[in-house]
Amino acid sequence: MSIVTEQLSFHYGKKTVIDNLSLKINSGFNVLLGPNGAGKSTLFSMLTGLSQASIGNVHINGYDLKENRPKIMRSMGVVFQQSTLDFDLSVKQNLVYYAALHGISASKALSNISDILSQLQLTQRLNDKVRSLNGGHRRRVEIARALIHQPKVLLLDEATVGLDIDSRKMITDYVGKLCIDLDICVLWATHLIDEIAENDQLILINEGKITAQGLSRELCKKHNVDDIYQLYRRLTTSTELV
Ligand SMILES: Nc1ncnc2c1ncn2[C@@H]1O[C@H](COP(=O)(O)OP(=O)(O)OP(=O)(O)O)[C@@H](O)[C@H]1O
C-alpha cells in the first residue's frame, strides 16, 4: 500500500499552494503536519482527484490517479475536514446510503464493519439520528463509514478538530490500531502536535513544500531539537497569521 506524488504543483490563480511536492508513504500511520494554509487540504483534494495537479503525478498503490481514478477510489477511504454526514438520517441510514454508492448491500455493509462499529462503541447508536450525537461520535461514524468498502488507503483531514481530549485520544489510538490490524496506509493531516507519537512517520509541510519526512524521533535527533514542537517551529512558518 502506498501513496506517491511526483513533483506535484497546484495554483490558485497566481498563488502556488502545492510547490513541486514529491512524497512517498507506505502502510502504517503517517502524519501530515503543517500550519494553517500549508496546503494539507489541497494535497488531500489532489490525492482524491477532486483537484487536478497543474504539473506532476499521483500514484496510489502503484496506479496512476489520472488513468485509474474509479479503481483507486474503490480502495480509498476519506474523512474530510468538514462533516459530510446527513444529520437528519440515522447512523445506519448514513452508513447504508454510502455503501449503496459503492454497490454494497446494507447487510454486507453492516457485516463488513460490525467489529469496527463495536470497537468505536457505535453499535448501540445505529438507530440514533446523527443530529443527536456529540462531535466525537459523529467523527467515529465518519471513520466507520470510510471503512465500509474495506479500503487499503485511508485519508483523514483534521479528523479530530473541535473534539475534546478524550475523544481525540480515542480516535487517534483507534486509527493507529487500524493500521496494524488491517495493514492499511493512513495519511492523517493535523496541526495538533500532541497527536504525534515519537514512533509515527511524520511529514512536515510548509507553504506547499515538504520540509521534513521520517520517524518523528529521528527527525528531532537529526535537527537537534528536544521535541516535535521545536521541530515544527524550526521547519514551518505561520505566514497566514499576519
Ligand atoms: N478556493 C481557494 N481559492 C484561493 N485560495 C485558496 C482556496 N482554497 C485554499 N486556498 C489557499 O490555499 C492555501 C492552502 O490552503 P489549504 O486549505 O490547503 O491549507 P491547509 O494546510 O489545509 O490549512 P488549514 O489547516 O487551515 O485547513 C491557503 O493559503 C488558502 O488560503
- In sequence order, what are the beta bridge partners of 20? none
* Claim: this prediction has a pTM higher than 0.95: no
Do 206 and 113 have their domain in common?
no
pLDDT digits (tens, 9 = 90+) for 181-226: 889 999 999 988 888 988 999 999 999 999 999 999 999 999 999 9
Distance from residue 89's CA to the centre of ligand 1 (Å): 31
Tell whether ligand 1 has an atom less than 6 A from the beta carbon of residue 14.
no
Distance from residue 46's CA to the centre of ligand 1 (Å): 13
Final residue belonging to a domain, choices 120, 150, 180: 150
Q: What is residue 10's three-state secondary structure?
A: strand
pLDDT digits (tens, 9 = 90+) for 132-150: 999 999 999 999 999 999 9
Structure confidence at residue 87 (pLDDT): 97
Q: What is residue 210's three-state secondary structure?
A: strand
Question: How many C-beta atoms lie closer than 10 Å to residue 151's C-beta?
Answer: 21
Structure confidence at residue 242 (pLDDT): 40
Three cell numbers written together for 28: 502504517
Do 173 and 217 have their domain in common?
yes
Can you state the angle between helices 165-182 and 135-146, rounded to 10 degrees? 10
Structure confidence at residue 26 (pLDDT): 95
Q: What is the CATH number of the domain that holds 205?
A: 3.40.50.300
Q: What was the ipTM of the complex prediction?
A: 0.95
Q: For residue 79, give the nearest of 27, 144, 172 by alpha carbon.
A: 144
Range of the domain at 111: 84-150
* C-alpha to C-alpha distances, 143 to 21, 61, 149, 204, 235, nearest whole angstrom: 27, 21, 12, 24, 30
Ligand 1 mutation target, pool 17, 21, 46, 209, most atoms within 8 A of CB? 17
Which stretches in the chain have pLDDT values below 70? 238-242
